[in-house]
Structure 1
Amino acid sequence: MYKSLIRPFLFRFDPENAHQLTFSWLKFLGNIPFALRWLAKPIEDKRLEREVFGLKFKNPVGLAAGLDKDAKLFNELSQLGFGFIEIGTLTPKPQPGNEKKRLFRLVEDSGIINRMGFNNEGVDAAVEHLKKNKNVLIGGNIGKNKATPNEEAVRDYEICFQKLYPYVDYFVVNVSSPNTPNLRALQDKKPLTELLATLQELNRKKTAPKPILLKIAPDLSEDQLLDIIDIVATTGIAGVIATNTTLSREGLTSDNRKETGGLSGKPLRKRSTEVIRFLAEKSGNSFPIIGVGGIHSAKDALEKLDAGASLVQLYTGFIYEGPELIREINEELLKRASRIAR
């Protein structure tokens, strides 16, 4: 129903307007008992459960950061079948993000280009929403404000960490968005090690430290990826999310392909999987990886898991394929579990 009726209707609107319309629908349906579950028909099966970095996930398919930036709809989205929801990216202070138009569909390529620029209502507003959590496993994706210079960025991440700590199950440090000026410079070994070590120091002072993950760009070289492996070992963070959006435009055919910003969707699938496989092999599977990038089918999700990911996340694939994609992935995982059990 989604691809035949709902998506054609939504794709007639500007992408940001369609996003707001979708959120209004989900909010409305969420107030009707079992309506979202009836529409999405999520699968619940103990065989889908995963324990990763000390947390139990009811299934390995999560929602990537960027869709529910301000933690307004995580309860409703979880009813569609996601095993976990990642909110953000959140910054200490509210910021409007970049000027519109800043979100572009590449329908012929099954992709999206965005240059949103960490638009969000600030971490304090998200905390108020998170207080209404109905037992949804939440990841908190944190970043720095655009106005904060890189040499002061650590403070922004500290603020978000401290304020979100009571309300999220794991953290994601985002230094890989291409849409905040100079942010990706924080991926260099020295500043990144300092940032993660500082957060880990704060984390270890807590009575119950929480997993901290690093979200990386797909555009890193092999030498840079080897640095990431060293940094994970040095700082003791829990794992890596691979990958964020790409600046590459290779092989695109859509009219919007020349827009600036980060590209997500099918064109990212191959590179994201390559990064996952490289990290897993070169690290000896020494830390968990959440695979994200170009998952538009159950086959794509299994490819990420087979490459070394412990969990996967959807964003653009969810927009193009709808909640049926969550169910299809979990169905395929159950079929695989049945074959192994024979």
Structure 2
Amino acid sequence: MFDYFPALRPILHRLDPEEAHLWTLRALELGIVPTQPLMLDAALRTTIFGKSIDNPIGLAAGFDKNARVFHKMYRQGFGFTEIGGVTPRPQAGNPRPRLFRLAEDEAVINRMGFNNDGMEAVRGRLVAHRTADMLVGVNLAANIDSEDPADDFVTLARRFSPHADFLTLDISCPNTANGKMFLSPGPLQDLLDRLSAMYGDLSAPKRPALAAKIAPDIEEEELDKILEVLTGFGIDAMILSNTTIDRPEDVRGAQKDERGGMSGRPLFNRSTALLSKVYAKTGGKLPLVGVGGVSSAADAYLKIRAGASVVQLYTALVFQGPAMVTRLKLDLADMLRRDGFQNVAEAIGADHR
């Protein structure tokens, strides 16, 4: 397997991080990014959100905010994708610069502010490019200036429900005024009540799974309250975790003090600890998506053993390129067999047994 990215990385990393990302999206749209070899291994095949997928490695939200290339990413080795975050109306997000690479740490800090083309444009691309064999999620968010953020979520859910396998309620983004208001039990319960009422009248043959995404900075007491509300509603899954506003002491990058959420390697331990905690608190009965700092098969395997049904990544692509997905899958299959697991599902939560 030839890996072209080490030769390309110095060129990309001389560009502003946001510009480099936009060039990457354009190259994917044009079909000039080499695809990864097709790798089908029975040990990696699994089921999530009622759908069978070839492998448990997903593309996290944020990479493809506007549904431009999600369909191309299956040829880069991903088993599922998540687009967004999407808001009802288009919004520009926060002023630039708003994306920062910490190369020494293989980390990224962002304060993008949910910049996206808006619900109608994103939905149009999703419908145009999605095929029945793709498992696709949509990350939902409220507009920055919304007077009723809960209504934004309901509007988005109604619009995307016929076209998505899962919808993510992003209730923990640190980069907008409305990004964290639903971490309070009262507003969260109101949002879930409105979604229940909406789905009660929804004419679609089935509703997509609903997942809640929270950040690793949550306090124990706050986590317990949020879990009580979510499980009482019957949430279908949780995505753990969002970026962190904390800066671990060993982070070295010159821009480490930039405001925003940090993703990448420094997030791994904290996000995995939260994942393990939620798995234990919910008795392993709730599907969990492990995201935060995954950059190798060992990372993915640790999250699965901690309780993740599937994992997601994004930041690792910035530093390793798409060939890392193929390496990760090969190594993960070897790790599963080494430890006597026939497939991914058998390893979920193994560290709790």
Q: 1:176 and 2:176 equivalent?
A: no
Q: 1:110 and 2:112 equivalent?
A: no
Q: 1:125 and 2:121 equivalent?
A: yes
Question: Aligned equivalents of 1:337 and 1:201: distance in 2?
Answer: 43
- What does residue 50 of structure 1 align with? 46
Stretches of structure 1 lacking an aligned partner (at least 5 in a row): none
Q: 1:326 and 2:328 equivalent?
A: no
Say which SS state the counterpart of residue 131 (structure 1) adopts.
helix
Question: Aligned equivalents of 2:198 and 2:325: distance in 1?
Answer: 35
Deviation at 1:329, TM superposition (A): 2.3
- Scaled by the length of structure 1, the TM-score of the pair is 0.93
Please list, as runs of the form range in 1=range in 2, the aligned pairs for 1:253-292 lying within 5 A after superposition. 253-292=252-291
Matched to 1:77, the amino acid is M
- What does residue 250 of structure 1 align with? 248
Question: Aligned equivalents of 1:76 and 1:44: distance in 2?
Answer: 17
* Residue range with higher mean Cα deviation, 185-194 or 266-275: 185-194
Encode CA deviations 1:50-89: one digit per residue, 9 max, x unaligned.
1123222221100000010000111111210111110000
Runs of 4+ in 1 over 6 A off after TM superposition: none
- What does residue 236 of structure 1 align with? 234
Question: Aligned equivalents of 1:316 and 1:205: distance in 2?
Answer: 39
- What does residue 12 of structure 2 align with? 10
Deviation at 1:148, TM superposition (A): 0.7
- What does residue 346 of structure 2 align with? none
* Residue range with higher mean Cα deviation, 329-338 or 294-303: 329-338
Encode CA deviations 1:199-222: one digit per residue, 9 max, x unaligned.
233235443121000000110011
Deviation at 1:46, TM superposition (A): 3.3
Question: Measured at CA, do residues 322 and 82 of structure 1 come closer, stay the same or move farther in structure 2, by a change above 3 Å?
Answer: same
Higher-helix-fraction structure: 1
- What does residue 302 of structure 1 align with? 301
Q: 1:314 and 2:313 equivalent?
A: yes
Out of 16, 26, 29, the position equivalent to 2:28 is 26
Question: Aligned equivalents of 2:168 and 2:197: distance in 1?
Answer: 16
* Residue range with higher mean Cα deviation, 331-340 or 189-198: 331-340
- What does residue 154 of structure 1 align with? 150
Encode CA deviations 1:233-263: one digit per residue, 9 max, x unaligned.
2110101000001000122211101111111
Question: Aligned equivalents of 2:193 and 2:270: distance in 1?
Answer: 28
Deviation at 1:333, TM superposition (A): 2.8
Question: Aligned equivalents of 1:91 and 1:216: distance in 2?
Answer: 18
Say which SS state the counterpart of residue 43 (structure 2) adopts.
helix
Whether the 8 Å contact between 1:203 and 1:210 is mirrored in structure 2 is no
Out of 125, 134, 137, the position equivalent to 2:135 is 137
Whether the 8 Å contact between 1:140 and 1:172 is mirrored in structure 2 is yes
Identity %: 37
Q: Alignment RMSD, CA only?
A: 1.6
Deviation at 1:328, TM superposition (A): 2.1
Number of aligned residue pairs: 334
Question: Aligned equivalents of 2:155 and 2:127: distance in 1?
Answer: 18
Whether the 8 Å contact between 2:107 and 2:266 is mirrored in structure 1 is yes
Question: Aligned equivalents of 1:341 and 1:115: distance in 2?
Answer: 40
- Scaled by the length of structure 2, the TM-score of the pair is 0.90
Deviation at 1:341, TM superposition (A): 6.0
Encode CA deviations 1:155-190: one digit per residue, 9 max, x unaligned.
101111111112111100011111111421221111
